[in-house]
Amino acid sequence: MPVKNRFAELLPEITAWRRDIHEHPEVLFDTHRTSALVAEKLREFGCDEIVTGIGRTGVVGIIKGKTNTSGKTIGLRADMDALPMTEETGLDYASKTPGAMHACGHDGHTAMLLGAAKYLAETRNFDGTVAIIFQPAEEGGGGGKEMVDDGMMDRWKINEVYGMHNWPGMPTGSFAIRPGAFFAATAQFDIYLTGKGGHAAKPHETVDTTVMASHVVLALQSIASRNADPIKQIVVSVTSFETGSNAYNVIPETVHLRGTVRTMDADIADLAEKRLTEIAEGTAAMMGGSAQVDYRRGYPVMANSEEQTEFAADVARSVSGNCEEAPLVMGGEDFAYMTIARPGAYILMGNGDTASVHHPKYNFNDEAIPAGCSWWAEIVEKRMPAA
């Protein structure tokens, strides 16, 4: 396939971009260096329009085809932000930013979309317009929502939108996708428990928040096992347990629990919030203490449109020869805001036998670059074939 051959030629150049981005990770909306690099490359490629500052630090590049009888605009989206964690890969291009790391492969997503943009700007072998979208703050900041709220879809009259994520454990350059609900809705919670502190040798004189919090942690698991419909997906995880003391002989006055909830259905999301609050408050009261719950809804369910999913799968098969049905993913993905605003599809691309995403030893697999670039380019050329 000519597209794949071209990206094989570009592989050393795209790899160099990817590793430069990897070496200089930026978190949430603070993607100033990455956004500037992206804008600079889009200018070098000869994009027809380049706009920065969409959704705070997002970048959009516009490439027009040889013709525009279709009047159609397709959006292609990559995320740019890193995670607030310390890298342990030992790579010669490992993060130079303390406490920040590209542990989810957004460096690879950005580099691949830049590669596709370079090819599309060179060839323009399509009938319509493509919006190349580089988004900040996917990792919990809602950068996708910010870009949509900034009027991106209406400003460039985007008709449909496509995204991609690398996936460790799948063969390198292979693809998987599913229609409908794909990635889960997210929520975060903080539970503040208050009892009566005192000496650990006199527990009868206290209201022991450590025991109270332990009961809360265990009871929260009953939301999934005893409250939710067994055929519906839900995850309730307590991820942090902080007491008000580090001493061996002090029963703390307070305990702070943190965690996350993941769901695929609006009714289960409502149930989870209601029961989590009832369980925390009821358990604390039963043991003579009190609970304050701060529950915050996050990203909505990320759902693929039927037509766009079928098309994206066909393109994937043309690129790599196969496209499997992807499993449901209980992770969150703020591409959800873009597929709510417009029909679209999100696909997984194999990263090979690597460490999982969000692991300190994860690294994006550069061998996957030609397949990823080809998929994006073929989306444009096959969805808007040259007149």
The yes-or-no answer on residue 87 being catalytic is no
Token pair recorded at residue 168: 């460790």
Q: Which of 26, 30, 79, 81 is catalytic?
A: 81
Helices (H), the chain: 2-23, 32-45, 106-123, 143-149, 152-155, 209-220, 222, 266-286, 306-320, 336-341, 369-383
Q: Which residues pair with 346 in a beta bridge?
A: 163
Query: What is the rounded radius of gyration, in angstroms, for the C-alpha atoms of the chain?
Result: 24
Nearest to 176 by CA among 327, 354, 372: 327
Question: Cβ neighbours of residue 101 under 8 Å, at least 6 residues apart?
Answer: 25, 82, 83, 85, 86, 87, 95, 360
What the block records as the tokens of 80 is: 């740019």
Please state, in angstroms and rounded to a whole number, the distance separating the CA atoms of residues 287 and 279: 12
Here the tokens at position 339 are: 């597929």
Question: Which residues are CB-contacts of 145 (< 8 A; sequence separation ≥ 6)?
Answer: 55, 334, 337
Three-class SS state of 58: strand
Out of 138, 334, 366, 378, the active site residue is: 138
Q: Which residue has the tokens 């990897």?
A: 22
Phi and psi angles of residue 113, each rounded to the nearest 5 degrees, phi first: -70, -35
- Burial zone of 367 (CB within 10 Å; 0-12 exposed, 13-18 middle, 19+ buried): middle
3-state secondary structure of 303: strand
Rounded Cα distance, 169 and 231, in Å:
26
- 379 contacts 315 by C-beta, under 8 angstroms: yes
- For residue 20, indicate whether it is catalytic: no
Three-class secondary structure of residue 38 per DSSP: helix
Is residue 136 within 8 A of residue 143, CB to CB? The reply is yes
Q: How many CB atoms lie within 10 A of CB 127?
A: 20
- Residue closest to 53 by CA, chosen among 38, 63, 64: 38
Residues annotated as catalytic are 81, 138
